[in-house]
Chains A and B, each alone.
Chain A
């Protein structure tokens, strides 16, 4: 079954309307002007006196009308703004307000297709009419993301119509807490936030604790740079997060839930707040949930910009109004968490999967994925690939499938497809590692990735082409973890700082033969001597690049050369003889007299004397100095 069929196999996405125009209103498409397109559709349709509706309600008679609705992230961010026309399922990409008239005339009044707005596969040049024949979509299995690109995230009716809150009702009315925990345990669901801890076990531990007060927290503090799966789910299908929280609360016997959202995601915060308000108004949250006699509250809390708060115990400290610093485990939050009460913390995606498991059963969930890691996983595919965006694939999918088939291949620095350009994929963000050519056919799941020194992490996948310097990438992550270290453990606080200094030595040409062994030793010490996941995994990007790209490190250290030509300090300026007029200005400006040459003849730079200060570059009126940043590199 193709991805989009999966999504549209829900009961009646048209809800009685004649046609439906779905405009993606995820952060990516909005940035590219989706809201202007949305406004243009309304305006132009009204001008033509065509009957439209903006909010689909099942009880209304929508028969002759065209519904103009917004959806959450449809995943194909790079091609935004995206406009889908149903029931024909035509996908228009990069739509501008000026294109709206033509779409209305051709596809809404007529039955045609505006060819020029269709997606064109970069590798083959083939145009694709809709999601049914775009490889980016057909090669995915979208469960968590399925509804995201279809339903209106601010319309509770539509979520209900798509079977929403049926699983929560089942959990509160039909199932006992034990039965829910058993079902989740049988499904083999593992936490999607990074660690991959079995969710069923976590819930069971909290359920067994006798306590009048328990809490469920949804971890939506998606701090991993390069990942935006949770943001998309909250923006595209906020009610699914609430429903997941309800199921978890019922399973452990909690009456208070909280969603800790990253403050960098204003749209997600706004939509989550709206969803909670709507659910309370409709009596889904609040007192006597589904007539069960149980009460349930849900609060949305905004983080304040600290990566470490993604760690369970640090998050609890932050919710309690403290600095977000982790504490030793045990006691685990399931034993003593928020305000000392049993608490479970689950990732957004984990909760969304739990909804489906309760609705369709553990066996159905196990149909996809591998034995040890069942189900699907969302990834944020970014970096140097043709199709960047949000994807969802079963565990066990190979990297080759993701990068070359879904991603459409690796792109060069100029943006065109470079068939031999693949260098590495960074997976798992600052805690993860890199995968190389040799891992392209590895079936990816929690265990196989750990065995090669990487991790699933939250699901950021950054593809890198051959012009990327892996040493610089490792330094980038080192700088990130150094900045984000909360300062509690000495080895994390000081160790990451020293590791960063060593990385700078390598990149700026000051390293010698002692640097790499020292870096390795320090990395292992930081791993051992840190309390929480941040410190324990902080050296991973360095260790993983040292393992797979040792030669690149060697070149920086021994030959003082950056093979990818990215490290500024190791670049060598030279004078392009074709452009040099021999005016001698650069030779006068050079503070170390490294430039020589006859007047009116091309000059040369003596590399032994050159200090790469860039004075020659600044003084040359003819752009003849090359190989320095700011020049023609």
Chain B
């Protein structure tokens, strides 16, 4: 795990669950608040670590299977850590007919990823496709973290990745 991922997740057990406790408390330890709780946990850790899920189950007094069931059902919950930059390519209908797939292929090729392996080894990039981002007027669309980029081309997408890598090199 890189320094970056370690920053996000304190290793000391007491500190590690401090934040989860606060989230559980904010939601009144109510099992029906499970989805907002998991959303808040994911916001904090960038994914849902297994031991944290078990902790949540204990805190809510529900079986861990129920928590895992919900966490695996919804596509927004990630059970594995994601990269610092999450590249989401829209493959909604409008983007699809405007040729979003060649963009995905170009991004995969640039980062050496595939539909099976979606995060780069240095934990810098995660590549996902989403069904629709609702920015169909700008199709095809690529979103990097929260920033929306419209009317994309394979070359422009690769250029954005180059720029991020450059910036990251300067920082480190």
Contacts and interface: CB of A to CB of B under 8 A. Distances in A.
Interface in B88-147: 91-94, 96-98, 102, 130-139, 141, 146-147
A553 interface: no
Contacts of B34: 321
A476 B93 contact: yes
Most chain A CB within 10 A, of B70, B136, B137, is at: B137
Contact of B134 (A32, A222, A318): A222
A231 B134 CA distance: 7
Given A31-B135, A32-B150, A382-B136, A226 B94 contact: yes
B137 A473 contact: no
B137 A382 contact: yes
A395 interface: no
B138 A77 contact: yes
A530 to B, nearest CB: 18
Given A302-B39, A304-B77, A30 B31 contact: no
B11 interface: no
B76 A460 contact: no
Most chain A CB within 10 A, of B36, B149, B150, is at: B150
A320 B32 contact: yes
B75 A306 contact: yes
Contact of B138 (A32, A264, A302, A305): A32
Contacts of A324: 73-74
A322 B70 contact: yes
A534 to B, nearest CB: 13
A237 to B, nearest CB: 16
A263 interface: yes
A231 B91 CA distance: 18
B27 to A, nearest CB: 10
B54 to A, nearest CB: 17
Given A306-B75, A321-B32, A78 B138 contact: yes
B69 interface: yes
B160 interface: no
Interface stretch (A287-295, A384-392, A615-623): A384-392
Contact of A27 (B70, B97, B134): B134
A266 B146 contact: yes
A228 B137 CA distance: 9
Contacts of B22: none
Given A222-B134, A301-B36, A318-B35, A382 B96 contact: no
A462 interface: yes
Given A224-B132, A462-B97, A27 B76 contact: no
Given A305-B75, A323-B73, A382-B139, A264 B146 contact: no
Given A306-B73, A324-B73, A382 B35 contact: no
B4 interface: no
B70 A383 contact: no
B118 to A, nearest CB: 15
B38 interface: yes
A76 B138 CA distance: 10
B33 interface: yes
A227 B94 CA distance: 9
Interface in A144-159: none
A205 to B, nearest CB: 25
Contacts of A27: 133-135, 148
A225 B132 contact: yes
Contacts of A388: 94, 136-137, 139
A464 B73 contact: no
Interface in A245-289: 262-266
Given A32-B150, A307-B131, A462-B93, A380 B70 contact: no
A476 B94 CA distance: 11
Contacts of A318: 35
B70 A321 contact: yes
Interface of A: 27-28, 30-32, 76-78, 80, 222-228, 231, 262-266, 301-307, 318-324, 380, 382-384, 388-390, 426, 429, 460, 462, 464, 468, 473, 476-477, 480, 484, 486, 629
